[in-house]
Structure 1
Amino acid sequence: MEFDIFVEKVRTLVEKIAKERNMEVRVNAETVVKNNGCRLKCLSIFARGSNVSPSVYMERYYEQYNNGRMLQDIVEEIVDSYGDRREQGRLDISKFTDYDSVRDFIIMMLVNRELNSEMLTNAPYIPFEDLAIVFRWLAVKSPESIGTSLVTNRDIRRWGVNVRELYDIASENTRRLFPEHVENLVSLLMRQYGIDVKKDGMAENNPEKDPEKDMYIITNSYYTNGAAAMLYPGVLARCADMLDGDIYIIPSSIHEVLFVKAGNEVDAKDIIECIILANKNIVKKSEKLSDNLYIYRRREDKVEILK
């Protein structure tokens, strides 16, 4: 079954089964442009009287279908998931036109500038080396989901604010709503995935052995769009102080960056090769941040691409 036919079949069945369960819904199939220009097909499920719609991306379900998963099973999972989330209710989008109503929920995100060049023609941003700091309005924030909308040039004209003012408020809001999280990478793997550093051959990176030789992660408390956490005032300075020197910043993805002590028996060329390979083979296209390696120079309090 071709992908577009699959999407339409799922859309029809989701609408049918939802109505059989007394859910009055309208289901639309839409193409959504995501980060880095990625276009994804999704189902938007609207309840009566609601202008909030969860986006159900179809690519992974199509892959599951081609691997033998039953169509009915996929449809029922989507309907069940929607039933669990529909209590989000109605969102007053009209508030978005009033700056005083949204200013406390404007946040920032770090993206690749070249890969998002089309989007940036219509959105305010601040260049940051080969990256761009963009701004989003936080519409939904819960343990299960985060919903945001891109702030456009039209929005800031309506609000009567400039990009610098937007950055100042977004920097404050993002740190308040999504506090930074800095942790030894091995400790994170041990805590989240139960990896035994001795058993899995990473004992040389044991955080209790030599902190200055370890790799660390900078993200936020939600582990989502956390690369921007390195922009919070004082974060990079604190990280450099931890390792008592300049640090290499590795753009792991839009969700986090990694850092190690610069020049600490680490070959920058090897790191750059690893970044490029990871972006090519592991990191999702929509989550890629950069192929470059950065250095934070502690004395100058400055980030730059390492060339």
Structure 2
Amino acid sequence: MLSILIITYGREQELFETLEYINRYSGEDVELLLLDNNETEQLKLKCENIFASNKNITFKYFNDGINYGVAKGRNYLIEKAQGDILVTLDDDIECTDITLLLNRVKDYFEQYPNVGALAFNIKNFYTREALRHEIPHGRKDLDFNSNFETYYFIGAGHAIRKSVYEAAGLYPLDLGLYGGEERDLSFRILEAGFDILYTSDIVIYHKVSPNGRMPRKEEDYYRFRNQLIVLNRYMPFVYRLTSNIIWSIYYLSIKKGSFSEVINILNEVRKIKSSIISKDALKKMKLMNARILY
């Protein structure tokens, strides 16, 4: 069976629109698990009503009155999911043909047994063009109309085998509410010997709604902090050094961060317990032309 996982917070209208797209599904039975990170269950009844007449979707709603954030929230759903393939979607996306999307997910995993994760082709909902920051490769000049092996996936749309979570582990819980969790898990997926495939023909359109998000300044801070935590956890010394320098300069000059923030974060990452990836995993990343200096 296949499981669809969605976390929602502060995006009532966007969520309902996303669920309406999913409700068009008409294939083999699937389950949809929704974690509502809001304080109350006020969304529950309307969500249940959306799927009331769709016999192919088993809808499961969860609300503990707590905002678990991204990593802890996904882990919550992963542990409850019954499927052997888990498709994770953001709560503010459009999918023009969910039946075709899920069939393609299943076909790819059947065709490529060593592929542990699929990175979807994520485009801007409004322009229908690629979202630069949601292209799952450091090189943005590649041909993204073709499939290729990559070294990380994007949170807004991806699929991972349940067995891969069991082998590589779940999302890290030391990154706070947001940022870097996909990169962290991607390192462990590669280290466990699985491939990550970018699938150009599995397309979703992301609204990147500002609702339910951190203020921009706070988001920039956590992106910087968590990038360094993840890179210092898994990369060899020379790449940790270059990453710390380059990301610090970027945060100070482009994001207008403060020196005190940079010093505090560098002191924090010095205490990170490292789990350096193997030479084989690093070689594999280099063969993909991965961005490894930062």
Q: Same fold (TM over 0.5)?
A: no
Greater share of residues in strand? 1
Normalising by structure 2, we get a TM-score of 0.24
> Which is greater in Rg?
1
If asked which structure has higher relative contact order (CA below 8 Å, sep 6+), I would say 2
